[in-house]
Amino acid sequence: MVVGDLFEQDADIVVGFTDTFDTSISDGGVISSSTVQGQLVLRHYDGDHRRLDKDLSGALSRTIPIARETRQTKQRGKLLRYPLGTVAVIGRPHRHVFAVAYSHMGRDNVAQSSLKDLWLSLERLWNAVHQHGQRRRLAMPIIGSGLARIDVLNREGLLRMILLSFIAQSRQAVVCNELLIVIHPNDLGEVDLLEMAAFLKSF
């Protein structure tokens, strides 16, 4: 665990998405520029979400959508819905971005997830990392907090859930050589690092 900036880590990174893989951060857009997805657009794609859309479309080309909204039912953003847990692997060959859909984008463009959805998505994320990551270091934020609205756990609870999922999967097959959880400085007050270190030592 480290307190810092996800995008400054020398590692593959995980970015959470909704089941529609919306990316627009322009005026009246669907995604807030302050979110990790928004920062991905700004910092990896120079603010051009259409470039990210192109990469996502390529990565999702073999995944069958489970539904298609219409402009009458969803007035802004993308219309295709993918299964929760879908992982689009994008980015450069030696620095992948694992874009994992762990929340449902409502027709009102409000995202919502649950512990069940997050656990399923984590399992599929680890499988994708095992398949594509070549055991490189993996950095990820505490997904599930903030606008995903998993309110039954605080950030420390979500962090424990992520670690438990990773440990469980690693006992079946090596996911990566190192998992680095990057805690945003603004969230540090919600995570007891000493307690989390003791939690990890119990395994």
Cα–Cα distance between 128 and 125 in angstroms, integer?
A: 5
- pTM for the full predicted model: 0.94
Interval 85-136: pLDDT, tens: 999 999 987 899 999 999 999 999 888 999 999 999 999 999 999 999 999 9
Q: Residue 163 maps to which CATH number? A: 3.40.220.10
The percentage of the chain sitting over the pLDDT mark of 90, rounded to a whole number, equals 73
Cα distance between the two ends of the chain? 16
Instruction: Answer whether residue 27 shows pLDDT above 80.
Output: no
* Dihedral over alpha carbons 31, 32, 35, 36 (to 10 degrees): 40
Mean pLDDT, range 149-174, rounded to an integer: 90
Give the pLDDT score at 8: 95
Question: Tokens 């259409």 map to which residue?
Answer: 50
Interval 61-92: pLDDT, tens: 999 999 999 999 999 999 999 999 999 999 98
129 closest CA partner among 84, 174, 195: 174
CA atoms within 13 A of residue 35's CA, in its CB half-sphere: 22
Instruction: Answer whether residue 33 shows pLDDT above 70.
Output: yes
- Tell me if 111 sits within 8 A of 149, measured CB to CB: yes
By DSSP bridging, strand 179-183 and strand 67-68 are: unpaired
- Mean pLDDT for all residues in the chain: 92
Give the pLDDT score at 129: 97
Give the pLDDT score at 92: 84
Beta partners for 189? none
Tally of structural domains, the chain: 1
The percentage of the chain sitting over the pLDDT mark of 70, rounded to a whole number, equals 97
173 closest CA partner among 131, 119, 142: 131
Residue type for 66, please? I
Mean pLDDT, range 30-52, rounded to an integer: 92
Give the pLDDT score at 148: 61
Give the pLDDT score at 22: 95
Give the pLDDT score at 147: 61
Q: Which domain holds residue 116?
A: 2-201
